[in-house]
Amino acid sequence: MLKLYLMEAEPLLANENRIRALELIERERIVRIERMKQEQARALSLAAGLLLAYAVSQEKMLFSHSAACQYEEKRPEPVYVSVEEAIAVLRRHSPLKTKKTSGGKPFLEGSRGLFFNLSHSGAYAACAVSGREVGLDIQQCVQRVNPAVVERVLHKEEKRIYANLPEKEKEAFFFWHWAAKEAYVKCTGEGLSNSFSGLLADWKGGMVTDTREGKSRKLCAVEAPQGYAFAVCTEEVPMRVGAFDTPIV
């Protein structure tokens, strides 16, 4: 199984909503939020925690080992969850408890076989829950990509394609590839210790490959809000490769 959830963070800028939501998320996240200085950053982190708690409340009751091994052969579509809906549901549940692996990857305490990953950018928080290791990333496609960042993020083959694209297509190309690589390292647990320029994102083949070590993860695009790139990497393929047109050609 693979389920994706999205939440707009803006309602959590309101003090009343923020207070109610803080009572429903894990303590470790609350501590991190309290250290943040920017209101938008606080709202996004809070939305991610709220969305995770909501997603687990929905999936835990249905989750089983047999279900964990059955991946749907179709493009995953995110479920949009409002702050009000999440708060209403989570009033009936205890806050989650999360821990981190030695590599710093968070996991759910007491939820064996249920994996998750979080991301946020711009106005949205995103969450994936799965029966396999999973990584996801959502990126707001901002204007004027920095050439130095392009150099650090894109593989040499991707740079060749990027250089020959019309200017109006370069932004989307860059952010979809960046999202794919963020999803990959979050799936493997390697984080930013892995240089993105060594990773090759193949949207047509549905794969991200570490060209230095030969490791790969399955890649799929997700229906994203306008102006965003949204990618998911899994240990197992959640659909037939080539079952839909990818956003990057």
Q: pLDDT by residue (tens digit) across 211-220?
A: 998 999 999 9
Give tens-digit pLDDT for 179-203: 999 999 999 987 655 689 999 999 9
What is the mean predicted confidence (pLDDT) over 26-41? 94
How many other C-beta atoms lie within 10 A of the C-beta of residue 174?
Answer: 23
Contact 68, 113 (CB under 8 A): yes
Classified by CATH at the fold level, domain 139-234 comes out as Ribosomal Protein L22; Chain A (3.90.470)
Domain positions in the chain: 2-112, 139-234
Residue 137 per-residue DSSP state? E
Same fold, 2-112 and 139-234: yes
Contact 7, 47 (CB under 8 A): yes
Residue 193: the pLDDT is 56
Q: What is the pTM of this model?
A: 0.85
Give tens-digit pLDDT for 134-152: 999 999 998 788 999 999 9
Reported confidence tier of residue 22, pLDDT bands at 50, 70, 90:
very high
| Class at the top of the CATH hierarchy for domain 2-112 | alpha beta
Residue 30: the pLDDT is 94
How many other C-beta atoms lie within 10 A of the C-beta of residue 240?
Answer: 11
User: 14: phi > 0 → left, psi -120 to 50 → alpha, else beta; which?
Assistant: beta
Residue 249: the pLDDT is 34
Give tens-digit pLDDT for 87-101: 999 998 888 877 777
